[in-house]
Structure 1
């Protein structure tokens, strides 16, 4: 009798001890899950900033991010060990406690008691493992990635250090399997993002109220600069305001007054032999009464020259560095094809703005009848931004180029053409170039 009681008491003690071990394993499982998701969700730039500021925990977290593959393998090893331990310890202990309770409260056969106890114990252990050991720590780590990474980094790295040989061995085998299917394993989380990726992030931030509309537009335009060249932002050759080097100052002043331009290009012979430019301030500094006798060739300042495929963001930096506001754009043959100003580049960044040099209506204006009046030099991306309808892809770089391709001839004023997206009518010509068009959109954007 006494021996039976002692055996029963010993069994109860063993069950509760096993239950305590199971609780510890459940907590450790949650620790490894949280560490894994914290490293994956943390912003490396934020961790690097904190580490640079001297935060010791951030330095430890950064070391973990830099060997991410090994850390994740360590987390998986820890999770697997805890899960196996739970299955080995928790289920029998919980089942024994439940079976004991059922035996006291109900009169059941041993088989029924065992089946009920096993089912309830397994369900309870699986539920706690999923909720407490997996889902809860994952949600916490994702909600506070950098904070959780710094809190867990040191003990987690200690575990990885202890089991590093085993983890390295398993990780090496896993990498070999991955290479067999043609994928190269990465030791660090990829941090580089393409402009399209960043644009999606900006759209998502704006959609959730994290960015104001003006900030979203400015940042989006900044990203779009990466796809633009000097040729996209330039004033075309036929619109360049220029005078010959032997022209007098009063001729240059008249051009500045007529066009509103403060900088007039000075050429020698033709526009492919540019000497520089003359600024309106240079003319105003001349002594009174000398304009008619002073050639602008002697006043010309140096002008920047850039290839037509030069990236706009690089050109902006160069113009600011050299304190230049004007750059000639040349093609591969050395022919001047246009001129780009600092204003042109800045407008690509922040949008159009009006100043004393703008003397015409907007490049794209919606009229009262629902049609659009557009400039022939409008780029496809600008056309889409204004009308909401993209131009079909092709060799053309402007709306005029698209219309000429559709007509298959140089048009005249009044010519019309219908395409898959709209009806185009030529409103004005400048010699052989289309100056303006009326556009009636025929498809939905």
Structure 2
């Protein structure tokens, strides 16, 4: 095999390694609440992704097998090619053969390691974690196909790994749990206390945090009761709405009355005076998280925590928007009433109208 063919194989194997790493983290990080509505709507890709998420141990075995094979082949094929390409110029430059060989080997090893770790591991991992749902829909179906092809191998590896776990008194699981643990909820409450959102001693709330029977549909604000702003609203309109209601966050609706996102009062602070009577730029509108009506309160909080969104759209099985869930309302179910720092006394989130 020529050296340049080895370089081509390096690129191919890096892409293969990146695929398996990305697929592994996508299957682990994707949210069922995002995939299930698509699967129920008839999406074959989403249905395949759900099957992958329900057999996560087999998917991880397949991904790890692919990563291992690609990594070994990179070391076997690419490193010698780069080594040889570097050694000859060094020898021509007068470097002793033995020293040139050592220098070329060290540089080739470092270069291949850099490419493997950066482009074969870290980049695909970060992409999959950042856009887990989209990555899962893209990568899980081909991973499932590969898993079927090498099923005898990964089944054997998975069987052996599960028996080793049982010997260690650990029960293996085939599906990633999407529940929100007590410790995680307590951590969120403690953080809210530090920011002045919770007016209570968190040590007294531990019992109330063990579980909840509430779902997103119980806590959401129905569409006809929302205080909303038009997407064509100006910063002046938002300031008036804040002054009238005391709210700091407002759902935004387009001309058809469809939810387009939400806006926080601090999103307009940087707008210069001459632009305050012009419509707020679309890029300033924040995206809403998505939940299903049956999502439990722990799962809702987990989704909102991962997406960084304080508001979530509640979407029914038919794809219809039923309401909006506010992070404050979720926390209130756990720790009691929380008042927005700007909220006027006696005013609640319900308004059933557009803010003027």
Displacement after TM superposition at 1:192 (Å): 2.8
* Matches for 1:29-108 after TM superposition, within 5 Å: 29-104=17-92, 106-108=93-95
Larger % of strand: which? 1
TM-score norm. by structure 1 comes to 0.44
Displacement after TM superposition at 1:208 (Å): 12
Q: Which runs of 4+ in 1 moved over 6 A?
A: 225-228, 346-349
Residue aligning to 1:147: 134
Q: 2:147 aligns with which of 150, 153, 160?
A: 160
Bigger shift: residues 107-116 or 79-88: 107-116
* Matches for 1:110-259 after TM superposition, within 5 Å: 110-201=97-188, 213=197, 224=208
Larger radius of gyration: 1
| CA distance in structure 1 between the aligned counterparts of 2:167 and 2:8, rounded to whole angstroms | 44
Higher relative contact order (CA 8 A, sep 6+): 2
**Secondary structure of residue in 1 paired with 2:5:** helix
Displacement after TM superposition at 1:89 (Å): 0.2
What is the aligned-residue RMSD (CA, Å)?
A: 3.5
Instruction: Report the count of equivalent residues.
Output: 217
Displacement after TM superposition at 1:224 (Å): 3.0
**Secondary structure of residue in 1 paired with 2:62:** helix
Structure 1 residues 207, 160: CA separation in 2 closer, same or farther (over 3 Å shift)? farther
Segments of 5+ residues of structure 1 without an aligned counterpart are: 1-10, 215-220, 229-345, 353-445
Q: State whether residues 30 and 133 of structure 2, in contact with CA within 8 Å, keep that contact through their aligned partners in structure 1.
A: yes
Displacement after TM superposition at 1:199 (Å): 4.5
Segments of 5+ residues of structure 2 without an aligned counterpart are: 199-204, 213-331, 339-356
Residue aligning to 2:12: 24
| CA distance in structure 2 between the aligned counterparts of 1:103 and 1:203, rounded to whole angstroms | 64
Displacement after TM superposition at 1:147 (Å): 0.8
TM-score norm. by structure 2 comes to 0.54
| CA distance in structure 2 between the aligned counterparts of 1:227 and 1:156, rounded to whole angstroms | 35
| CA distance in structure 1 between the aligned counterparts of 2:97 and 2:15, rounded to whole angstroms | 33
